[in-house]
Structure 1
Amino acid sequence: MFTSYVQTVLKRCDELALISQSPEYIDRRYLTNEHKLANQLVASWMEQANMQTWQDEAGNQWGCYKSPCPDAETLIVGSHLDTVPNSGKYDGILGVLLPLGLVQWFADNSITLPFNLEIVGFADEEGTRFGTTLLGSRAVAGTWQDRWASLLDKDGLTVATALRDFGLNINNIHNASRAQSNLLGFVEVHIEQGPVLESQNLPVGIVSGIAGAKRYKIEIEGHAGHAGTVPMALRQDAIAGAAEMILAIEQAAIEHEVVATVGQIQSLTNAVNVISGKVDISLDVRSLDNSKRDLCIEQIKQKVEYIAQIRGLTVTEHLTHEADATLCHPDIMSQLESACAMNRIKPFVLSSGAGHDAMAMAELCPTGMLFVRCAKGISHNPAESVNFEDVNDTLLVLKSYVDQLAKQYGESSELVA
């Protein structure tokens, strides 16, 4: 029954992909003109679905499908509209446009709900412009930190200045908070960005939680020397030490059943005929269990220090990012599992290793997530892809979830047309 609506969802993903600050690839960042144009286009689609629309003081785009019931509570559904450079069409965007397709179906069939259904397109999940993620959803959750006003982009512009140029005022950003709202919860639909659902041959899955992450910059200092004159036994080679440390990090992650990644390596010498005197590496460790993650990090630190001592190196570490794991609300998970079963889809629970706006929203209200299968798990890449049938199945699951919630309030959305 959703064929035309799914076609519209996918067509709109294509249309939003054309709003980019690069003519060569998709690139839509916080508080840019492209951000403004995307909000305006999404707002026009929301209005077609009989939604009241507004842009909040942080630049998030909202639409409300208002309940006729007085003093109705509110369910929020949504994701983000910003992208990384050279992104795909669906990361975040599908999670805004898919529920909009459902609301359009409600509107076309004159269906009302016993609660307000709001859709949000968050402004800055990726953190590409200012280096700090979740700025839009943090403002909504009421956890905005005033120090973020002075964050700089690559051109030296602050968040405060960028907000002003966008037509907003940093002094009003706390007004974006929904902390005083009467909320039922928040549900985010997002492509999986991984291969698990594909390996299970399933179109959609229920997220149990979002892994907590800690990131470090590790500086490894040895002694630079001539590649031809310093004997191997007398070298203090920072690159060789870094290589051994990276393998130790990999082994520690396997032993502790977490994921750990060294994604950046920078040799400050970086010459073909010079023994490296200093190397910087990054470290990213994630787990749904904060204690397990932290135990692994402690073992990594011990192994790194041991390798440094053996090789005559010095190591300095700097914590650059910290976010604790976020568990999805068990009631919402249970309802989403039931919604899958109603549509003859095996309820399958998996965790998220990537961060999402749901992490911020979980500090505000009960939160849940649905993952949509994406081809080969590819994301943050132009090859990002979903198929029609999976989007249709996810739309059915989301509708069944909303129906269940409506029945709790004494009426089903299928019975009030």
Structure 2
Amino acid sequence: MIASRLALSTEQIDAAARRVMARCEELARISADSGAITRVYLSPEHARVNALADAWMREVGMTTRQDAAGNQLGLLPAADPDAPVLMLGSHLDTVIDAGRFDGIVGVLMAIEVVRILRVASADGGWRSPFPFGIEVAAFADEEGTRFGRALLGSSAVAGTWDDAWWDLEDADGITLRDAHRAFGLDAAAIRDAARAPGQLVGYLEAHIEQGPELDRRDEPLAVVSSIASARRFQVVVEGEARHAGGTPYDMRRDALLGASEAALAVERICSSEHHIIGTVGQLEAFPGAVNVIPGETRMSIDLRGEFDGARDRVWERISRELDEIMGRRRLSWHAREVHSAPALFCAPLLQDVVREGIRASVASAEPASLFSPAGHDGMTLGALTDVGMLFLRNADGISHHPAESVLGGDVALGIRALAEAVAHRGAEPS
């Protein structure tokens, strides 16, 4: 691996970090909810942040477009207009009542890296100095907040769009197809968003760590080794709704108590396994009256693991435990899998260039290498190209919450590291 080729001034990097932090605040004001940050796919807020990202991409000399899935893209071409590209980016959508930085900081850092690396072209514009172009992607729907299916934007780019998704509905009963049309997009053109493998030399993403490891280590940056495999289930527990006062305990078939015991079993089983994380994030009882024993309960189970096989074995254990719990309580249960994604192992070459980028930016010990239990757009892009990721420290590891935080100084280090990583990739053989 070569030594750093970049001569970057502290003033240049600090100015870039200040722009990123200010623009995170500007985007935070674009929300469907007053007093909270909420931006979902194919919403007016989605259109507004795409327009801002478009302007910021053009400001640094990129040509821009919105693709057939609603992703906002900017291109800094190579001297050869037919050359492949190195894609940088993340996402601009959020969960409900989100923080300011999840996804957003990665998009804005990528734009600043283009500003740093661009060189003047013969036509008076700007181009990439490398044998590949640089493309910035602001993906449209990483979180899956509106339609319950994550990674829609990057799936379209990776060529893994599933037409069955068109029938997904949001909380108001609006289908994905209808929302897509109302946004001004053409469902028939969705395949146009897909890239061929030869069009990319890789994908690099900067992202806040959505956990506490860097904060505990007191380190600003880390290399990501892999992204968790994931499976999500909607579980229905069925019992019998009866009068809360008139039904003795030996006759009760309480679906809520069965689901509650199941949730505790998920915690017990997963906490005993290395790098397996299970979460029950939704629990709803029906009919939901104060004086009626719940006859049905619906719950979610989110499973994540470093390795697919270990994750699947844990689901088998959970299933056997649910059989025992529901049998003992005279209840029945069934599950519907709503999401499945294999583990994504970051490419060794891109891990190396990110590591060299950190070494060139942080005067410290060997950069940490961390497994990501959180999902990212790279999970889908791994079906298309090599993936690498850079983590930034996140105070206390809190994310998907308004208290989410990143330091401007860490953003400055991250911008330098990402720019160095791109330069190192440019010096490697294709």
Note whether the superposition's TM-score is higher than 0.5: yes
Match of 1:310 in 2: 328
Please give the TM-score of this superposition, normalised by the length of structure 1: 0.91
Residue aligned with 1:53, SS: strand
State the shift of 1:98 in Å: 0.4
State the shift of 1:180 in Å: 5.4
Paired amino acid for 1:82: D
Residues 246 and 376 of structure 1: is their aligned pair in 2 closer, same or farther, counting only changes over 3 Å?
Answer: same
Give runs of aligned pairs for residues 288-327 of structure 1, distance below 5 A.
288-327=306-345
Q: Say whether the 8 Å CA contact 2:31–2:38 is kept in structure 1.
A: yes
State the shift of 1:104 in Å: 1.2
Q: Say whether the 8 Å CA contact 1:114–1:409 is kept in structure 2.
A: no
Residues 164 and 308 of structure 1: is their aligned pair in 2 closer, same or farther, counting only changes over 3 Å?
Answer: closer
CA distance in 1, matches of 2:180, 2:284: 34
For 1:16-54, what per-residue CA distance to the aligned partner results, in whole angstroms no more than 9, with x for missing partners? 222223333222222223222222211111111111111
Q: How many residues align?
A: 410
- Farther-moved stretch of structure 1 (197-206 vs 252-261): 252-261
Paired amino acid for 2:415: L
State the shift of 1:228 in Å: 4.6
CA distance in 2, matches of 1:167, 1:367: 31
Paired amino acid for 2:315: I
Task: Establish whether residue 221 from structure 1 lines up as the match of residue 238 from structure 2.
Answer: yes
Residue aligned with 1:319, SS: strand
For 1:321-361, what per-residue CA distance to the aligned partner results, in whole angstroms no more than 9, with x for missing partners? 22222221122112212222233343111122222111111
Give runs of aligned pairs for residues 214-293 of structure 1, distance below 5 A.
214-257=231-274, 258-293=276-311
Match of 1:355 in 2: 375
Give the counterpart of 1:384 among 381, 404, 411: 404
Identical-residue share of aligned pairs (%): 42
Residues 240 and 85 of structure 1: is their aligned pair in 2 closer, same or farther, counting only changes over 3 Å?
Answer: closer
Residues 296 and 409 of structure 1: is their aligned pair in 2 closer, same or farther, counting only changes over 3 Å?
Answer: closer
CA distance in 2, matches of 1:149, 1:238: 32
CA distance in 2, matches of 1:315, 1:170: 36
Give the counterpart of 1:94 among 102, 105, 109: 105
Give runs of aligned pairs for residues 116-135 of structure 1, distance below 5 A.
116-135=133-152
Q: Which runs of 5+ in 1 are unaligned?
A: 411-417
Paired amino acid for 1:172: A
Residues 334 and 43 of structure 1: is their aligned pair in 2 closer, same or farther, counting only changes over 3 Å?
Answer: same
For 1:237-260, what per-residue CA distance to the aligned partner results, in whole angstroms no more than 9, with x for missing partners? 333333332222222112333111
Task: Establish whether residue 67 from structure 1 lines up as the match of residue 78 from structure 2.
Answer: yes
CA distance in 1, matches of 2:223, 2:146: 30
Residues 185 and 311 of structure 1: is their aligned pair in 2 closer, same or farther, counting only changes over 3 Å?
Answer: same
Residues 158 and 262 of structure 1: is their aligned pair in 2 closer, same or farther, counting only changes over 3 Å?
Answer: closer
State the shift of 1:229 in Å: 4.9
Q: Say whether the 8 Å CA contact 1:140–1:179 is kept in structure 2.
A: no
Paired amino acid for 1:369: M
Please give the TM-score of this superposition, normalised by the length of structure 2: 0.89
Q: Say whether the 8 Å CA contact 2:350–2:425 is kept in structure 1.
A: no
For 1:296-328, what per-residue CA distance to the aligned partner results, in whole angstroms no more than 9, with x for missing partners? 111111112112222222222222322222221
Q: Say whether the 8 Å CA contact 1:87–1:380 is kept in structure 2.
A: yes
Q: Which runs of 5+ in 2 are unaligned?
A: 1-9, 121-125
- Farther-moved stretch of structure 1 (18-27 vs 132-141): 18-27
Match of 1:27 in 2: 38
State the shift of 1:107 in Å: 3.7
Residues 288 and 106 of structure 1: is their aligned pair in 2 closer, same or farther, counting only changes over 3 Å?
Answer: same
Residue aligned with 2:223, SS: strand
- Farther-moved stretch of structure 1 (137-146 vs 224-233): 224-233
CA distance in 1, matches of 2:221, 2:406: 11
Q: Say whether the 8 Å CA contact 2:353–2:422 is kept in structure 1.
A: no
Residues 340 and 294 of structure 1: is their aligned pair in 2 closer, same or farther, counting only changes over 3 Å?
Answer: same
